[in-house]
Chain A
Amino acid sequence: MMWSNFIWFALPAILLWLSSGALVYSKKNERLSNLLMLAGIAIFAFFIAGFWIHIERPPMRTMGETRLWYSMFLSIVGFVAYRRWKYPWLLSFTAVVATVFVVVNLVKPEIHSKSLMPALQSPWFVPHVTAYILSYAMFGSATIGAIIQLWKKDQNKGVFNFIDNMIYVGYGFLMLGLLMGAIWAKEAWGHYWSWDPKETWAFVTCAAYLGYIHIRLRRNKKSNTVALWFVILAFILLMITWIGVNYLPSAQSSVHVY
C-alpha cells in the first residue's frame, strides 16, 4: 500500500465519517450512524497497516504521518466517548476535525522515504508517539466540549464530567508518552531531559493540563469558567508543541523532526 493509494481510502473514510456525524442526530438512524463510523475507522486503519508494511518502518516519523494517526485516534476517541456519554455533537465534531486532518494530508502529504535515522530505531518509538497522539485526540475532544460548554450559558454538569474524564485519561496518556520519551532519551542521548525546545513545550503542555486538573479540585461558578478557558488555552499550547515548535527561532537545533 503506497502513499499514492491514500486518496482511495481517505475519501471513502471521510464520506463515512461525515455521514455518520450527520445521521447521529436522528434517533432511528443511530445504529446506521454507528456502523458508518466504524466502517470509516476500519478503512482508515487498514490503510495505515498496509502503509506501515510497505514502508518497512512505523509511519510515525514525519509530521504528515503523525496527522494520519491523529485522524484515526480522533475518530476512535470520538466514537467511544459518544457511546459512553451519548453526546451526538461529540461524534460530529470529531468526525469533522478528523476530516480536516485527512484533507491536510491530501493537500500537503509531507510523507517521505523509508529511511529512519538510527536514533529513532528504538522499541520506544511506537509507544511514545501513539501515547502522545492518542492524548492529543482526547484533549481535542475535551476542547470541543469546553467550547460547547462556554457557548451555552447554562452549564451542563454532564458535559463537565465528560471534559474532566477526557482530560484525566488524556493526561495519563500524555504522561506515559512523556516518560517513555525520557527513558528513550536516556538510552539514545545519555540524558532523560535536556530542555530541547520540543521537551520545553511538552513540559508547557503538561503543566497547562496539570493546572486544569488542580483548578477543578475547587468548584464554584467562577472557577468553572476559568477552568473551561484553561482547556482552550492548554489546547493552543498543545498545538504549539505539536506543530508550532518547528517554526520557532528557539527550535532550530531540536532533535524532533515533527
Chain B
Amino acid sequence: MTESRNRKIWSTPWRYAESIAVVVALLVIGYLLQIVVGEFNFFLLAKPANYVIACVITFICIAIGLRCTKSSFARWLSGVEMSVSLIVALLLLTIIMGFTPQTTHSHSLLGFDVMTSSWAFVIIYTITLISLGALVVRRLRVFRIKDYGFYLNHFGLWLFLLCSGVGYADMERYIMHVREGETEWRVYDDDENIKELPIAITLLDFDMDYYPPKLAVIDLENGEVLPNGKGDYFQIDNDIPKGNLNGWEIEINQYIHNAVRNSDSTYQEVHMPGATPAAKVTAIKDGIIRTGWICGGNQAQLFMTLSLDDKTSMVMTVCEPRKFISQVEVYTKSEKNISAAIEVNKPLRVDNWVIYQYGYDNNAGRLSSYSSFELVYDPWIIPVYIGILMMMAGSLSMIWEGKRRKESENDVE
C-alpha cells in the first residue's frame, strides 16, 4: 500500500502488493496439491522425521534472520507487510474452518472439512513459522532489554507453533476400561485396535456424587414435560423449599439425597451405592391437595411419581453428576506402584504418561461396574508449555505497558 502509486510491483523493497501476491500464490499451490495428492498426512511427521524437520526449520529461521542486514528478501520475509498478509491468510482459512463441520477424512475437493491437514493451511503455517523465527533472530541481533515483551510473545509463539505442529504425530492417546476390582493393561486406540501398555491399573472403587435433581410435571400420554414445547422445571434446593410448577403451588416437605425405599413406600436415609434422591412433596391447585414421595429411581430402585390428575404426574429428573472419582492402584514396568484417586480435572502423572478420568457406564451412574480412563503420552509437552508460559508473560507485559512502540516506516535494524 505504501508508495504503491509511484512504484512498480516487484521492485524492492517489497511491500504489501508483493506480500499479498506471494501469499495468494502459496494458497493456490496448496489447493492444487490438495486436489492432486489429497490431504497432508501428519503421521508422516512421526519421530524421527519431526526432529529433522524442527532442526531444518530452525536452521532456515537462523539463516534468514542473519541475512537480514544484507538481503532485502530476508527483510521482506520477516517484515510487517508479510506478517500481516500471513495473519490475514490464517484468519481466512480458520474462518472457513469455523463455518465447516470438521471430519477426520475429507469429503471435499479443497479439504475445507479437514482444514488443519489441508496443504494450504500447512504451507501458510510453515511460512508463518519461518517468517516469525527469522524475525526473532533478526531482532536478537540488535538485542534491547526494553523489548522483552516482543521477545516473550514472538519466541513463545514460535516455540508453541513449532512444537505443537511437529509434535502432534508423536502424541499417543488411548482409552482403557477397567472393571471394579480388576486389573487392566490393554487399551483401545481411535480405531478400536487393542494395544498393551507398560502401565496397569487396578480399579479399587468407583463413586459418584450428584446435584439435587429437578421436579417436572409430565403428560402421562406421551411422557412430555409440560407445558408443551418449553418444559417447566423446579430445582430442588433446601434454601428454597416452595415454588410454582406448571400451575401447581408446591412445597418440598422433606428431601433425602441418599434414600432407600421402605416397605410402606416411604423413604429413609441410607448411605449405600444403590441409594437415590427422593423428596416428599405437597402440591396444591384449585383446592386440590396432593402429597407423596417422588423418586427418580436407578438400577437398584424403582422410580416413584406423584399422580396429580388423570392426565398428569409429577416426576423427578435424572440427576446431573457433581463429581465422579476412581480409586486406583497403578503399576508400571519401571516397578512403580502408586495409589491415587483420579477424577475430572485431577489427572495422574506416571512416568511419561498422564491418566485422565474419562467415563463410566452412563446408564448405571453411581452403580457403574467399570470406569474408563484416557492415557496420554505427549513427549513435546515441555517446550509447548515453555512457549505458553512465555506468551503469558508477554501478555502481562502488553497489559502493563499498553501501546508503547512508535510507528516506523522501516523495521528496527
Interface residues of A (CB under 8 A from B): 2, 54, 112-119, 121-122, 161, 164-165, 167-169, 171-173, 175-176, 179-180, 182-184, 186-193, 195, 197, 200-201, 203-204, 207-208, 210-211, 214-220, 222-223, 226, 237, 240, 245, 248-250, 252
Partner of A172, one of B320, B376, B398: B398
Query: Could you tell me if B395 and A113 are in contact, using CB atoms closer than 8 angstroms?
Result: no
What is the interface of chain B mostly: helix, strand, loop, or mixed?
mixed
Specify the chain B residue showing the minimal Cβ separation from A182: B388
A179-B391 in contact given A168-B398, A204-B91 (Cβ < 8 Å): yes
Query: Could you tell me if B344 and A119 are in contact, using CB atoms closer than 8 angstroms?
Result: yes
Partner of B403, one of A113, A121, A122, A164: A164
Interface residues of B (CB under 8 A from A): 1-2, 80-81, 83-84, 87-88, 90-91, 94-95, 97-102, 116, 164, 171, 173, 211, 214, 235, 237, 239-240, 320-324, 343-347, 354, 356, 374, 376, 378, 381, 384-385, 388, 391-392, 394-399, 401-403, 405, 407-409
Query: Could you tell me if A250 and B102 are in contact, using CB atoms closer than 8 angstroms?
Result: yes
**Cα A175 to Cα B156 with chains together (Å):** 12
**Cα A200 to Cα B374 with chains together (Å):** 24
Q: Which A residues are CB-close (under 8 A) to B100?
A: 250
Query: Could you tell me if B84 and A214 are in contact, using CB atoms closer than 8 angstroms?
Result: yes
Q: Which A residues are CB-close (under 8 A) to B409?
A: 218
A54 to chain B, nearest CB (A): 8
Could you list 30 A-B pairs, sorted by A, with CB under 8 Å? Answer: A113-B235, A114-B237, A115-B211, A164-B402, A169-B398, A169-B399, A171-B395, A172-B395, A172-B396, A183-B385, A183-B388, A188-B344, A190-B354, A191-B171, A195-B102, A195-B116, A200-B98, A204-B94, A207-B91, A207-B94, A211-B91, A214-B83, A217-B80, A217-B407, A218-B80, A219-B407, A220-B1, A223-B2, A245-B98, A248-B99
Query: Could you tell me if A187 and B403 are in contact, using CB atoms closer than 8 angstroms?
Result: no
Q: Which A residues are CB-close (under 8 A) to B237?
A: 114
Query: Could you tell me if A118 and B322 are in contact, using CB atoms closer than 8 angstroms?
Result: yes
**Cα A117 to Cα B324 with chains together (Å):** 10
Query: Could you tell me if B98 and A189 are in contact, using CB atoms closer than 8 angstroms?
Result: no
Query: Could you tell me if B323 and A121 are in contact, using CB atoms closer than 8 angstroms?
Result: yes
Query: Could you tell me if A250 and B323 are in contact, using CB atoms closer than 8 angstroms?
Result: no
Query: Could you tell me if A211 and B1 are in contact, using CB atoms closer than 8 angstroms?
Result: no
Query: Could you tell me if B345 and A119 are in contact, using CB atoms closer than 8 angstroms?
Result: yes
Query: Could you tell me if B101 and A249 are in contact, using CB atoms closer than 8 angstroms?
Result: yes
A9 to chain B, nearest CB (A): 19
B92 to chain A, nearest CB (A): 9
Q: Which A residues are CB-close (under 8 A) to B392?
A: 175-176, 179-180
B342 to chain A, nearest CB (A): 12
Query: Could you tell me if A173 and B356 are in contact, using CB atoms closer than 8 angstroms?
Result: no
Query: Could you tell me if A217 and B2 are in contact, using CB atoms closer than 8 angstroms?
Result: no
Query: Could you tell me if B407 and A218 are in contact, using CB atoms closer than 8 angstroms?
Result: yes
**Cα A164 to Cα B392 with chains together (Å):** 20
Q: Which B residues are CB-close (under 8 A) to A215?
A: 84
A40 to chain B, nearest CB (A): 25
A112 to chain B, nearest CB (A): 8
Query: Could you tell me if B87 and A211 are in contact, using CB atoms closer than 8 angstroms?
Result: yes
